[in-house]
Each structure stands twice: as C-alpha cells, then as structure tokens.
Amino acid sequence: MGLSGSNTVVGAALNSVRRHFVLVMAVSAVANLLLLAGPLFMLQVYDRVLTSGSVPTLLVLSLAVTVAYAFLGLFEWVRMKMLARVAAMVEGRLEEPAFRASVEANRLGADGQRSEDPLKDVETLRQYIASPGLLFLFDAPWLPFFLFIVYLLHPVLALVAVIGAVVLIGLTILNERALSAQMNDIAEDTSHQNRLIHSSRNNGEAVAAMGMSPALLGRQQQIKAGMIDRQIKIIDTGSGFSTATKVLRMLLQSVLLATGAALAVAGEMSAGAMIASSILAARALSPVEQAVGSWRQFITFRRAWSRLGKTLGQTAPRVAKVFLPAPSAELAVADLALVAKGCETPILSGVQFNLVAGEALGVIGPSASGKTTLARAITGLWQPEGGEIRLDGAKLDQWPADTLGRHIGYLPQRVSLFAGTVGENIARFAPGVSSEDVVAAAKAADVHELILRLPNGYDTHVEAVDNQLSAGQMQRIGLARALFGQPFLIVLDEPNSNLDNEGEAALMRAIGAMRKKGSIVIVMTHRPNVISATDKILVLAGGKQVAFGAREDILKSSKAPAAELSDDKAAEQKSREAA
C-alpha cells in the first residue's frame, strides 16, 4: 500500500494488529473459496440435472448451494466485524501520540503551520480500515486463483479474462494518476479555508467592530468556489473511471459468454462450463472494479497515513528509563540561541543567566526583543538551536514532557480556558486531585473570592460564563492554574497585561509567596509594574541579552529601557506609599 515508510509510532500501530489482519485474510480465503459454490452449482445444473432430468439431484445441489451461501454471508459479516475492531485498535494505539502532536503543534522544530489535525488523520484511518473499501486488498490476491480455474475450463477463456484484467488494472493506474494531483489541490484549498474560518472566529470582535465580515465572507466564498470546482472535477474523473470500469467488466462478461458459447457450439466445452467460466471471470475481476470505485477513499487514507507518520515522527515523546527527582535547587541558562523554523537568523541568542530557589527574575525589553521566545524555551515548548537550559543540572529534554510539566507553572500571554469546570481548569484536568490543592492555588492567585461568586463556584462550567469573564479574570484564573501544585519553576508572560490595580497587587503577593516556598519565578513584561517583586533583571533587545544582574544595579544603569525604568520607579513609589 506504499505505507512501509511510515514512522515507528505509526508502524508499531500497524504491527500490533498484524496478527488480526492475518485472521481477516484467513476468513477472506474461506469466503473466496465459498464463492466457487455458484459456478459449481451452475456447472452441475446445466451438465447433470438438465441432461438427466433428476429432481433429487437438483434438490441436493440446491440445498448444498444454500448452505454454502449461508456460510458465505456469515464469513462476510465476520470479517467486517473483525475489521471494525482492528480499526478501533489502531485508533487506540495512535490516539494518545496524535493528541500530543496536536497539542504540541507549535513546538519549535515541529510543523507549527500544519493545518491538518493529527486526530482527524487518525479518524480517517479508522474509518477506512473499518469500511468495505479495504476488502479489495484481501480479495485481489485471489484474482490469479479464479483465472486459473477459468483456464482449467478452457485456455481461450482464460486468455480473454487476462486481457480484460490487464485493461482494468491499467484503468486503475490511470485513475490513481488522475486523482492524486487533484486531491492534493483540494486538500490545500481545504486547509486555506479552515485557517481563514479559524482566524475569523478567533478574532470575531475585531471582525465585527471594523466591518470586515463582507470582505472575509467574499474571500471564503472565493476559496469555496475553487474547492467546489475541483470537487466536481474529481467526481467527474472518478465517476468516469468507475463507470468505464463497470461497463468494461460487463462487456467482458458478455464477451466471455459469447466466446464460451462459440466453444460450446464447436464441442470444446459444455454449456455448464460456459456459464461457470463467465461467473468465475466476473468474480476474478470484481476486486479491480471495487478498487477503482473506492480509490478516492484510498488516496485520502494513504495521505492521512503518510502525514500522520511525519507528524508523529516530529513529536515522538522521549521515554525515560531513569526518572529524575523533582528539581529544587537551580535553573541555569547557558549561551541560549533559538531559530524559528524556516529561518536562518536567530530570533534569540547569547542569553545566559543562573537562578536559585527563591529568586525571581524580571525580563524586560521592547516589543519583539525575544521575551516570549525565551519563555517558551524555558518551559520546554521550543527546542534550543544552541546552548542549553538545565534544571538542577539536567537538560530539559532529560525529563518526559508530562513529568517536566508538573514542575512548571506557565501563564502565556493569551490565556485560554478549556471546556470543563473552573476547578478542573485550575487542576490542569489531572485526575484524583484534592479540592484543598485547587482552592490553595486559587487563594495563592487571590481569585478564590471571584470564583465563589460564579453561579456554581468551582463547579461552574467555563462554557456557561465564558462571555461573562473579563480578560483580567481569565488571566487570574490562568495564574491559579500556573501556581497549582506549587511548581518549582514559574514562568509568567505579561501576567499583568489585563490586570487592574487590585489584580496587580494580588500578582505581586503571589510572586512573593511562591518565592518563600522555594520556587523560581520568571516574569516577562513590557511594562513591568511588577518588577519590584523581583530581585534580578534580564534586559533583552533585538533578540540579544543586554544586561543581567541585581534589580537595583540594572535599574541604576543605562542599559534598562527608559519606559521600563520609569514604570518600575513608579511601582516602587506606590509600594513605599502603601507601606
């Protein structure tokens, strides 16, 4: 099937069900042998019953063919049930790595622009494996067997059948070449349309406020029109080949019958053999017609399989053989450099600093200086092109992603809550967590009272209040999620971008509390009113490290950006006034 080059994860999923495929092949073998019942019945009726006039013989033959067809139906039903279960097993093997790949699609080095969802690819595999379209792979090997039986009846009929088979197989190859390019084009159009719809939905407020709906609708309709045109061409092409194959096979059956009749008139074969050979030849060529009819689905399956193998090969998780203890001492960043996929120029380089338990670092710098990139690297989302990041002396990739994630709290710039309850979001959807830990994280983020005012408190479903939560409230719930479990390393990217004075004060208290518990806190900020809660500062500009040191020393130097310096002095003045 051209699938042998798939990555080890996908290949392992196929190998795990190889034994079940062998069983399906065995059942298919019995089913194909039972298909001989029809031709044999015709042969005996024409050559024995009609010549002898024996009604008992006809009854026995009728009973035998009825039993044979009953078993044929049973075996056909069994192999479809087996394929459905094999498909479910393959999906079960691939669902977890596909979900991980979907979640980690933005990891540096992975295909961050991928528009296809790995989980949809897994669903495509399951649907095709469980469909009748796959059966031609199990029936096609029996084509030579049926042609050999025809040969035993008469070599001339076998020659006609072989010529017909070659022509049908040629049509199948032409069908493959004609559909593959068109299927690739429509896949690109579909991806383009999905990206446009997704971005329009995510920026719905901006679209409505600036009257962009007509323009975006026009663009979507333009893409859709092209897709429909290509879909019509695919249907025309596919149906054309399918119709040609079907007509050719029917014509071939008539040619075989006519040839058999000529041979019967010449006395070279019996009337029963004539009818039987026609049925056998039709059965031999049936998988070819079935293949042409389901070729679109097979191409979709093959592309999904290839794409999934590539995706899982890029995001295959590391399996730890020795589990490291939880980090508790230090974070070391040495000569860190990061390069975006498809680019040669580093977007961050020369970053180097050390932090120990209980310290807090403020990362400041103008827009596009590399603050968010650094946050993603420190949390293990992006892989360094050069240099290294170590926790307690171990590089981040020495921890499996899930294990590392339990030691990290991360608040991204754009906070999104997942479908579920507020409590489940704070608990990161981990099973078996205690209510005390969830409430403790909420109190640490000073969002406990806010949550209690929701319709069902911590059990409120996010979907029910999604439009009622302000950006600042979502940011504070996101902060509680970052603090859940008292992680050792806490990275906050623009944590006060949507906070009012009360929320900002709560954020500063949370930073102080986590430092007392031995956590390392790193705050990326453009307008750092929370810098006064840190004791060290890292200055970035143009993707390079400008300065690193004690907060007081950096703020007194000329290397701190003027805006950040003035904002920080204002924050310190507010702190002194509050005291």
End-to-end CA distance of the chain: 74
Using the 8-state DSSP alphabet, how is residue 457 labeled? G
Please, are residues 201 and 220 in contact by the beta-carbon 8 Å criterion?
Answer: no
64 and 143 fall within a common domain: yes
Two structure tokens written together for 322: 């020795």
Stretch 106-123: mean pLDDT = 61
Q: Domain boundary residue among 280, 315, 350?
A: 315
263 and 137 fall within a common domain: yes
295 and 393 fall within a common domain: no
What three-state secondary structure class fits 338?
strand
Cα dihedral sign for 325, 331, 332, 336?
positive
Please enumerate in sequence order all residues whose Cβ is within 8 A of that of 6, keeping only pairs 6 or more positions apart, or say none: 14, 305, 306, 308, 309
Please enumerate in sequence order all residues whose Cβ is within 8 A of that of 153, keeping only pairs 6 or more positions apart, or say none: 269, 273, 276, 277, 280
133 and 38 fall within a common domain: yes
Question: Tell me: the pLDDT tens digits for 476-522?
Answer: 999 999 999 899 999 999 888 888 888 888 899 999 999 999 999 99
Q: Is 205 exposed, middle or buried (0-12, 13-18, 19+ CB in 10 A)?
A: exposed
- Whole-angstrom distance, CA of residue 193 vs CA of residue 432: 41
Domain contains 140: yes
CATH of the domain at 137: 1.20.1560.10
55 and 93 fall within a common domain: yes
Q: How many structural domains is the chain composed of? A: 2
Bridging pattern class, strands 386-391 and 330-338: antiparallel
Domain contains 192: no
254 and 351 fall within a common domain: no
Amino acid at 154: H
CATH of the domain at 537: 3.40.50.300
Domain contains 457: no
Two structure tokens written together for 224: 């859709």
Placement of tokens 């990555």 in the chain: 7
Stretch 200-226: mean pLDDT = 74
Domain contains 145: yes
- Whole-angstrom distance, CA of residue 493 vs CA of residue 372: 7
pLDDT computed for residue 114 by the predictor: 46
303 and 389 fall within a common domain: no
Q: Which residue has the higher pLDDT, 61 or 344?
A: 61
Q: Is the pLDDT of residue 10 over 90?
A: no
Q: How far is CA 470 from the centre of its chain?
A: 31
- Whole-angstrom distance, CA of residue 210 vs CA of residue 203: 11
- The secondary structure element, H or E, covering residue 454 is none
pLDDT computed for residue 566 by the predictor: 47
Question: Tell me: the pLDDT tens digits for 360-382?
Answer: 999 998 888 889 899 989 988 88
- Whole-angstrom distance, CA of residue 428 vs CA of residue 181: 43
Domain contains 437: no
Domain contains 461: no
Tell me the HSE value of 436 on the side-chain side, using a 13 A CA sphere.
0
Q: How confident is the model at residue 320 (pLDDT cuts 50, 70, 90)?
A: low
* Strands of 348-356's sheet in order across: 394-395, 386-391, 330-338, 348-356, 544-550, 536-541, 360-364, 520-524, 489-493, 408-411
261 and 406 fall within a common domain: no
Question: Tell me: the pLDDT tens digits for 255-298?
Answer: 888 998 999 888 888 888 888 888 888 888 888 777 777 777 88
Question: Tell me: the pLDDT tens digits for 330-347?
Answer: 999 999 998 876 677 788
Stretch 157-173: mean pLDDT = 85
What three-state secondary structure class fits 343?
coil
What is the DSSP track for 214-255?
Answer: HHHHHHHHHHHHHHHHHHHHHHHHHHHHHHHHHHHHHHHHHH
Placement of tokens 């059990």 in the chain: 459
Stretch 547-552: mean pLDDT = 90
Two structure tokens written together for 385: 């092109």
Q: What are phi and psi of 498, to 5 degrees?
A: -120, 15
Amino acid at 573: Q
Q: How confident is the model at residue 108 (pLDDT cuts 50, 70, 90)?
A: very low
Tell me the HSE value of 188 on the side-chain side, using a 13 A CA sphere.
7
Q: Is 52 exposed, middle or buried (0-12, 13-18, 19+ CB in 10 A)?
A: exposed
Q: How confident is the model at residue 33 (pLDDT cuts 50, 70, 90)?
A: very high
Tell me the HSE value of 42 on the side-chain side, using a 13 A CA sphere.
15
Report the range of poorest mean pLDDT among 156-160, 192-196, 437-441.
192-196
Domain contains 93: yes
pLDDT computed for residue 312 by the predictor: 78
- Whole-angstrom distance, CA of residue 296 vs CA of residue 578: 70
pLDDT computed for residue 197 by the predictor: 78
Q: Is the pLDDT of residue 95 over 60?
A: yes
101 and 135 fall within a common domain: yes
Percentage of residues of the chain with pLDDT beyond 70 = 88
Q: Which domain covers residue 26, as residue numbers?
A: 8-108+118-178+235-315
Two structure tokens written together for 259: 């040839």
- Whole-angstrom distance, CA of residue 266 vs CA of residue 215: 76
307 and 376 fall within a common domain: no
Q: Domain boundary residue among 315, 338, 371?
A: 315
Please, are residues 150 and 161 in contact by the beta-carbon 8 Å criterion?
Answer: yes
Report the range of poorest mean pLDDT among 51-60, 277-286, 468-477, 569-578.
569-578
Stretch 14-30: mean pLDDT = 89
- Whole-angstrom distance, CA of residue 55 vs CA of residue 102: 68
Q: Is the pLDDT of residue 576 over 50?
A: no
pLDDT computed for residue 538 by the predictor: 93
344 and 290 fall within a common domain: no
Please, are residues 442 and 426 in contact by the beta-carbon 8 Å criterion?
Answer: yes
Please enumerate in sequence order all residues whose Cβ is within 8 A of that of 221, keeping only pairs 6 or more positions apart, or say none: none
The whole model's pTM is what?
Answer: 0.68
- Whole-angstrom distance, CA of residue 304 vs CA of residue 165: 29
Domain contains 480: no
129 and 250 fall within a common domain: yes
Q: How confident is the model at residue 559 (pLDDT cuts 50, 70, 90)?
A: low
Stretch 89-93: mean pLDDT = 88
Bridging pattern class, strands 520-524 and 544-550: unpaired
Q: Domain boundary residue among 315, 349, 380?
A: 315
